[in-house]
DNA sequence: GCAAAATCTGCGGGTTCCCGCAGGACAAGC
DNA sequence: GCTTGTCCTGCGGGAACCCGCAGATTTTGC
């Protein structure tokens, strides 16, 4: 069995290396990559079928790297290992996991023992392991109590990129009014209305405020923004 | 000599502990705190005059913790130790460092040897040590070639919080038009105009786009946003 | 197959934003 | 004193935004 570790922090990388060695005696080769880009290359070259992947790396983050790895070999088993359980990450991951693939998502703050268990479960037993906390986020974002639908999320991203209503309408093949409809439901879902400043009438620019609230609640994060910006540039240049 | 380490990641914390022990044999006590809030308390209680501080912690980030520590004892020597050199962090730090205080700013990616040197320089020699890269950011943000003035930066923050022009004018005791003037200079400084999408006429909502660009360039980051949001709430409730 | 619910769409208006123009306040330099 | 530069301020208008209303279209549930 070969395991590929993709992690930019040297300390965490060697810690992971150690953990893999301890948890998987049947593992005969541990490879390391220090960012998403070189992770993709190593995965392609070594044909590793087991990957431990950090999210939030410079160069190319874990989500993008995982997507291309899975595109090439959908049966790769990937264990995501992240500092945060931002809704943006959770949503990003579940967006790219292929049908029937096995993966895991554990937090860096987890204990050695649970990391060991996760490694064995995902890589040996082919069983999905999602951290409790991450699971909670998943639930919340699905149950549309306060969670955003996919349509609303996409609008949010486009707005956050700084596009006008008209531009969004064009990109999404919608009428102007439909875009504004989605925006309104976004404002409601994010509770833009009751806010610090009590009888705030005209104190907030709703469009801007929605994005800010999304950032503060980690529904969006800068990593998701960077991805979206790159896609926007691609879609324009083509 | 007593040294207080404030760092939320256990691995990095123990690595720092080791580095301090090795670099400062005259140090007879190493204390640890795992976030900004408990860091403040420990600093107060132990009267430590030497602090190694991570930025970007949950609970209370390094900048806020450093500010209260320095407010209580301005002669405390603080070495900031961060993953990133975001302009938002650099600006935040230089905003709070008191007159004549000695401090340092090194990146986590630096070598063991340079960390050792920084520890000795700041704590023993009372000499400021700023990482080359960080220094570069500082220069750039001061030289107003593309750097924002303080006035523009504050406007940027207020806009990012989602306030309307009118609200900002009121908070800052300015006329509406003045706020808009500063906004315009902000747009120019951030190069909002030439953008992906060539003959983009009316494709971008400038106000939103400015914030997005600032985020992508790390002029702003979510940590700075959170701080600003808290200050906003305080200023309203009072 | 039909009714209910959810979405999309056009119209119209009030408000906010973006910004050119022009005048006033204040400091620095010859 | 005059000029030059920088910043603040008011006015006005075109564009974009926010959103209620109402009809059309699609989806959902039974």
The pLDDT value given to residue B34: 94
Q: How confident is the model at residue A86 (pLDDT cuts 50, 70, 90)?
A: very high
Tell whether the model's pLDDT for residue A143 goes beyond 90. no
Average pLDDT over residues B48-59: 93
B84 φ/ψ angles, rounded to the nearest 5 degrees: -125, 160
Q: What integer pLDDT is reported at residue A150 of this predicted model?
A: 86
Question: Same domain, yes or no, for B197 and B134?
Answer: no
pLDDT in tens, B107-162: 999 999 999 999 999 999 999 999 999 998 888 776 655 678 888 999 999 999 99
Residue in chain B closest to A192 (alpha carbons) equals B162
Give the residue-averaged pLDDT of A4-20: 96
Q: Does residue B231 surpass a pLDDT of 60?
A: yes
User: A50 has which bridge partners?
Assistant: A3, A77
Asked if strand D contacts A144 at the CB level, meaning under 7 A, the answer is no
Secondary structure (3-state) at A77: strand
Q: What is the CATH number of the domain that holds A112?
A: 3.40.50.2300
Residue B120 and residue A156: Cα distance in Å, rounded? 48
Residue B220, token pair as written in the block: 């702003």
Is A95 in the same domain as A181?
A: no
Using an 8 Å Cβ cutoff, are B225 and B160 in contact?
yes
What per-residue confidence (pLDDT) applies to B202? 78
Which burial class, exposed, middle or buried, applies to B154 when counting CB atoms under 10 A from its CB (0-12, 13-18, 19+)? middle
B122, B232: one domain: no
Evaluate if residue B195 carries a pLDDT over 80: no
Q: Are residues B16 and B132 in the same domain?
A: yes
Whether the predicted pLDDT of A140 surpasses 80:
no
Give the tokens for residue A26.
Answer: 């049947």
User: Mapping DSSP to helix (H, G, I), strand (E, B) and coil, where does residue B192 land?
Assistant: coil
Residues with Cβ < 8 Å from B58, sequence gap 6 or more? B8, B35
pLDDT band of A145, cuts 50, 70, 90: low
Residues B79 and B182 in one domain: no
Scanning residues 179 through 238 of protein chain B, those with a beta carbon under 7 Å from any atom of strand D turn out to be 181-182, 202, 205
We report the CATH number of the domain holding residue B226 as 1.10.10
Of A163, A206, A229, the CB nearest to B216: A229
User: Is the confidence at residue B183, as pLDDT, over 60?
Assistant: yes
Compute, in degrees rounded to 10, the torsion defined by CA atoms B205, B211, B217, B218.
Answer: -170
Separation in Å, CA of A144 to nearest CA in chain B: 25
Smallest CA–C1' separation from A151, nucleotide? C7
Nucleotide nearest to B173 (CA to C1'): D8
Q: How far apart are CA A218 and CA A212, in angstroms?
A: 10
Lookup result for tokens 């490694």: A119
Closest CA relative to residue B129, chosen from B120, B140, B118: B118
Q: Taking residues B64-79, what's their average pLDDT?
A: 95
Residue B192 · residue B206 · CB < 8 Å: yes
CB contact under 8 A, A206 and B159: no
Which of A77, A109, A142 is the endpoint of a domain? A142
Per DSSP, B165 falls in state: H
Percent of chain A at pLDDT exceeding 90: 80
Residues B187 and B77 in one domain: no
Q: Are residues A6 and A122 in the same domain?
A: yes
Domain-terminating residue out of B110, B142, B174: B142
Chain C nucleotides covered by protein, CB below 7 Å: 7-12, 15-21
> Per-residue confidence at B199, pLDDT binned at 50, 70, 90?
low
Coil, helix or strand at residue A105: strand
pLDDT digits (tens, 9 = 90+) for A146-177: 678 888 999 999 999 999 999 999 999 999 99
Spell out which residues of chain A touch residue B18, defining contact as CB-CB under 8 Å.
none
A202 and B164 in contact (C-beta within 8 Å)? yes
**CA pair distance A139, B22, nearest whole angstrom:** 47
What does the pLDDT look like over A218-230, one tens digit per residue? 999 999 999 999 9
Number of folded domains that form chain B: 2
A234 vs B120: CA distance, rounded Å: 48
Residue A78 has pLDDT above 90, yes or no: yes
Residues of A in contact with B212 (CB under 8 A): 160-162, 225, 229
Q: Are residues A138 and A172 in the same domain?
A: no
pLDDT of residue A147: 75
Greatest Cα pair distance in chain A: 65
Contact between B221 and A216 using a beta-carbon 8 Å cutoff: no
Chain A's closest residue to B216, CA to CA, is A226
User: Do B107 and B9 fall within a single domain?
Assistant: yes
Query: B58 with B175, same domain?
Result: no
Of the pLDDT bands very low, low, confident and very high (cuts 50, 70, 90), residue A100 is confident
Cβ atoms of B21 and B30 closer than 8 Å: yes
Q: Which residue do the tokens 């207020």 mark?
A: B158
| Sign of the torsion angle spanned by Cα atoms B61, B65, B67, B68 | positive
A152: Cβ under 7 Å from strand D? no
Residues B50 and B81 in one domain: yes
Q: Does the CB of A177 fall within 7 Å of any strand C atom?
A: yes
Q: How many CA atoms lie within 13 A of B164 on its CB side?
A: 11
Note the pLDDT tens digit of each residue in A189-207.
998 887 666 566 779 999 9
Token digits for A212?
Answer: 């800010």
Q: Which phi and psi (to 5°) does residue B63 adopt?
A: -65, -45
CB contact under 8 A, A204 and B229: no
A157 & A132 share domain = no
| Residue at which a domain ends, from A142, A177, A208 | A142
Can you give the residue range of the structural domain that contains A137?
Answer: 2-142
Alpha helices per DSSP H over B85-221: 87-96, 112-123, 132-142, 150-160, 165-172, 176-189, 206-216
From the list B88, B42, B89, B86, the residue with the least C-alpha distance to B68 is B42
């Amino acid at each position: 069995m070969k395991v590929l570790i993709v992690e930019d922090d040297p300390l965490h990388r060697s810690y992971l290396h150690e953990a893999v060695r301890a948890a998987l005696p049947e593992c005969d080769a541990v490879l390391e990559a220090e960012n998403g880009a070189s992770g993709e290359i190593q995965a392609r070259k070594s044909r590793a079928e087991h990957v431990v992947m950090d999210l939030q790396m410079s160069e190319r983050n874990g989500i993008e790297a995982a997507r291309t790895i899975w595109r090439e070999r959908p049966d790769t088993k990937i264990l995501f290992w992240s500092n945060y359980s931002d809704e943006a990450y959770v949503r990003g991951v579940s967006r790219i996991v292929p049908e029937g693939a096995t993966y895991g998502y554990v937090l860096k703050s987890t204990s050695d023992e649970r990391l060991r268990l996760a490694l064995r479960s995902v890589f040996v037993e082919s069983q999905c392991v999602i951290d409790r906390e991450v699971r909670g986020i998943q639930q919340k974002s699905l149950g549309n109590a306060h969670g955003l639908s996919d349509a609303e999320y996409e609008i949010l991203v486009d707005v956050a990129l700084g596009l006008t209503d008209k531009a969004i309408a064009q990109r999404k093949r919608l009428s102007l009014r439909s875009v504004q409809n989605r925006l309104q439901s976004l404002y409601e879902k994010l509770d833009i209305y009751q806010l610090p400043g009590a009888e705030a009438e005209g104190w907030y620019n709703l469009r801007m405020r929605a994005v800010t609230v999304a950032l503060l609640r980690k529904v969006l994060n800068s990593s998701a923004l960077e991805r979206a910006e790159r896609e926007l540039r691609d879609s324009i240049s083509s």
